[in-house]
């Protein structure tokens, strides 16, 4: 089955969100939504999410799932806002519990912060099946970028999050806590074992040198042949050496501190204080 995929590109974070529709009905899923956030003012905005909501309503779609490929470190999830307006169950990988434990300590969240994934409606493991109307999706656990990364294979399309980028841009960084270049290589091989014609939809695009337009759709065959980090038969040893060396030069994402605190809570802000005010923490010399 070939799902109907509509893409929404967020200029501020280079994130692509997707609405994935059953071609034989009105059911859909929303993957990797974005809540706009201005770090300097501490203010959120829903412009990006509202565009998705408008599309859903204009096309009379029924949202069954709000899927996260992982706990994003570069943008905030709009899943709760979308759920309030168009419904759907929020799903993420079962290894979210590892991420919550790690960053619960980093942000000194205390015992009131639950580290069991209970903020989400569904925790997926390798091989789980989800239905979007009559369209079948399967879950692949593809860690390496983070321990909880998933790839959703829905019909002839695979939504890989940050595991793979466009062939001319390569692969995700692996230097966040719990990341591993060795593990990422193995996860990429799982994705590349899908049929060559499988469409791959990536989570970000930054326009590789020499490319004038943003792009986010490719195929397994194209990745196997031309991905600059893992294509053309590159070995695990070559990849790990390249990835670890490259990661050592990278700065932290601009929105990593607010993103992690919000996204490990399924897109919810920390609980307000007695005055109704919400605060995010800035750990010093920890990340």
**Is residue 132 classed as helix, strand or coil in its secondary structure?**
strand
Residues 243 and 179: beta-carbon distance below 8 Å: no
Rg (CA), the chain: 18
Predicted local confidence at residue 286, as pLDDT: 76
* Intervals of the chain under pLDDT 70: none
pLDDT tens digits for range 149-203: 999 999 999 999 999 999 999 999 999 999 999 999 999 999 999 999 999 999 9
| Phi, psi (degrees; rounded to nearest 5) at 218 | -145, -160
- Which are the contacts of 170, defined by CB distance < 8 A and separation ≥ 6? 227, 228, 229, 230
d(CA 33, CA 75): 9
d(CA 243, CA 252): 15
d(CA 176, CA 144): 9
pLDDT tens digits for range 213-237: 999 999 999 999 999 999 999 999 9
Residues 62 and 85: beta-carbon distance below 8 Å: no
Predicted local confidence at residue 65, as pLDDT: 98
Topology of 4-263 in CATH?
Metallo-beta-lactamase; Chain A (3.60.15)
């Amino acid at each position: 089955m070939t799902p109907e995929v509509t893409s929404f590109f967020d200029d501020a974070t280079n994130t692509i969100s997707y609405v994935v529709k059953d071609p034989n009905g009105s059911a859909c899923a929303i993957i990797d939504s974005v809540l706009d956030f201005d770090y300097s003012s501490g203010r959120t905005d829903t412009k990006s999410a509202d565009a998705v909501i408008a599309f859903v309503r204009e096309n009379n779609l029924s949202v069954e799932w709000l899927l996260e490929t992982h706990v994003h470190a570069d943008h905030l999830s709009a899943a709760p806002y979308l759920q309030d307006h168009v419904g759907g169950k929020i799903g993420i990988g079962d290894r979210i519990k590892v991420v919550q434990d790690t960053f619960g300590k980093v942000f000194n969240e205390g015992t009131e912060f639950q580290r069991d994934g209970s903020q989400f409606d569904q925790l997926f493991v390798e091989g789980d099946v989800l239905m979007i109307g009559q369209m079948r999706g399967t879950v692949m656990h593809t860690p390496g970028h983070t321990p909880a990364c998933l790839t959703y294979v829905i019909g002839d399309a695979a939504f890989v999050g940050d595991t793979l980028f466009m062939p001319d841009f390569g692969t995700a960084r692996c230097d966040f806590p719990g990341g591993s270049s060795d593990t990422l290589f193995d996860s990429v091989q799982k994705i590349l074992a899908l049929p060559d014609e499988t469409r791959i939809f990536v989570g970000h695009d930054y326009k590789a040198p020499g490319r004038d337009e943003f792009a986010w759709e490719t195929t397994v065959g194209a990745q196997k042949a031309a991905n600059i980090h893992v294509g053309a038969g590159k070995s695990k040893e070559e990849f790990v050496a390249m990835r670890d060396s490259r990661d050592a030069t990278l700065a932290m994402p601009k929105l990593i501190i607010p993103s992690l605190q919000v996204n490990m809570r399924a897109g919810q802000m920390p609980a307000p204080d007695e005055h109704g005010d919400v605060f995010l923490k800035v750990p010093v010399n920890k990340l």
